[in-house]
């Protein structure tokens, strides 16, 4: 498996009003666009500010375990938030599913309307996925490839991004003819095949209040906001499900 590029971590800042609190949230890369939409809505509704750090869930969790000052984790899986509580990094009872993601095969060069057929053919040299060790969407991609019985033919053609944002860049810059990304990243685009949900484990994206944010009213306000009708409407419009 070849690896291209370095980790991509983007930071967005919404400045809080005077005397308001601010919360630092670690966010799975697939949720970048939605989180950026939610920030001004959260500030307008609560008066609090929010700072984001984006990256692959596994890499963010490593940073948390090493003392990074994040107060909330919005993961791309349900494994790390539960582990945070078990390892004393997260607040018991704070974990909940904020979104259920969908996996998509995407290409700017090929017709992938019949994704299974394209993956089984010889019409491409490189397929991009996010690192399955740190990115849940990458793990779902590997599960999909295996479920289709294509591991032997596709694995030598994989290129791996550090996170799902970098994976999308590989496709859009032509470093790979196609790749697996989050459906939310390609909403409204052509060249998309939504992977049937039965080909991989559900992508349940859980949130957890971290110990560093336990006493911060902006942190609890952000988690409350994430479950509000305003936030859910934005999340669902981006292609996620909310139970």
One pLDDT digit (tens) per residue for the chain, 243 residues: 444 333 334 444 444 444 589 999 999 999 999 999 999 999 999 999 999 999 999 999 999 999 999 999 999 999 999 999 999 999 999 999 999 999 999 999 999 999 999 999 999 999 999 999 999 999 999 999 999 999 999 999 999 999 999 999 999 999 999 999 999 999 999 999 999 999 999 999 999 999 999 999 999 999 999 999 999 999 999 999 998
Sheet holding 127-130, edge to edge: 2-3, 158-161, 127-130, 178-182, 103-106, 192-194
Output helix, strand, coil percentages for the chain, rounded to the nearest 5: 40, 25, 35
pLDDT at position 19: 55
How far out from the chain centre does Cα 12 lie? 16
The 10 Å Cβ neighbour count of residue 60 is 26
* 191/207 Cα distance (integer angstroms): 31
| pTM attached to this predicted model | 0.84
The domain made up of 2-100+202-237 has a fold known as D-Maltodextrin-Binding Protein; domain 2 (3.40.190)
pLDDT at position 20: 80
CA dihedral 178, 179, 182, 184 (to 10 degrees): -10
User: Does residue 98 sit in helix, strand or coil?
Assistant: strand
Q: In the chain, which residues fall in CATH 3.40.190.10? A: 2-100+202-237, 102-199
pLDDT at position 54: 97
Instruction: Yes or no: say if 3 and 159 are a contact pair by the CB < 8 Å rule.
Output: yes
Sequence-ordered list of residues with C-beta below 8 angstroms from that of 86, at least 6 positions apart, any chain: none
pLDDT at position 192: 97
Q: What is the CATH number of domain 102-199?
A: 3.40.190.10
Stated as kind and residue range, the H or E segment containing 51 is strand 49-55
User: Does residue 156 sit in helix, strand or coil?
Assistant: helix
Instruction: Yes or no: say if 200 and 145 are a contact pair by the CB < 8 Å rule.
Output: no
Strands 2-3 and 103-106 come out as: unpaired
């Amino acid at each position: 498996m070849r690896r291209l590029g370095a980790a991509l971590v983007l930071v967005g800042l919404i400045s809080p009003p005077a005397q308001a609190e601010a919360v630092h949230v670690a966010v799975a890369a697939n949720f970048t666009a939605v989180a950026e939409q939610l920030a001004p809505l959260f500030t307008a509704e609560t008066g609090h500010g929010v700072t984001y750090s984006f990256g692959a869930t596994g890499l963010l969790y490593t940073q948390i375990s090493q003392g990074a000052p994040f107060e909330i984790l919005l993961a791309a899986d349900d494994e790390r938030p539960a582990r945070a509580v078990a390892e004393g990094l997260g607040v018991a009872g704070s974990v909940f599913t904020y979104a259920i993601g969908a996996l998509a095969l995407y290409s700017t060069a090929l017709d992938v309307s019949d994704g299974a057929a394209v993956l089984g053919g010889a019409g491409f040299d490189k397929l991009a996925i996010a690192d399955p060790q740190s990115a849940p969407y990458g793990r779902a991609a590997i599960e999909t490839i295996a479920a289709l019985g294509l591991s032997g033919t596709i694995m030598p053609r994989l290129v791996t991004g550090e996170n799902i944002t970098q994976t999308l860049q590989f496709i859009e810059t032509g470093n790979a003819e196609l790749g697996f990304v989050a459906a939310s990243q390609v909403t409204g685009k052509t060249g998309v095949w939504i992977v049937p949900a039965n080909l991989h484990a559900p992508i349940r994206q859980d949130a957890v209040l971290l110990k560093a944010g336990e006493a911060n009213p902006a942190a609890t306000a952000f988690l409350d906001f994430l479950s509000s009708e305003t936030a859910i409407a934005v999340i669902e419009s981006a292609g996620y499900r909310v139970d």
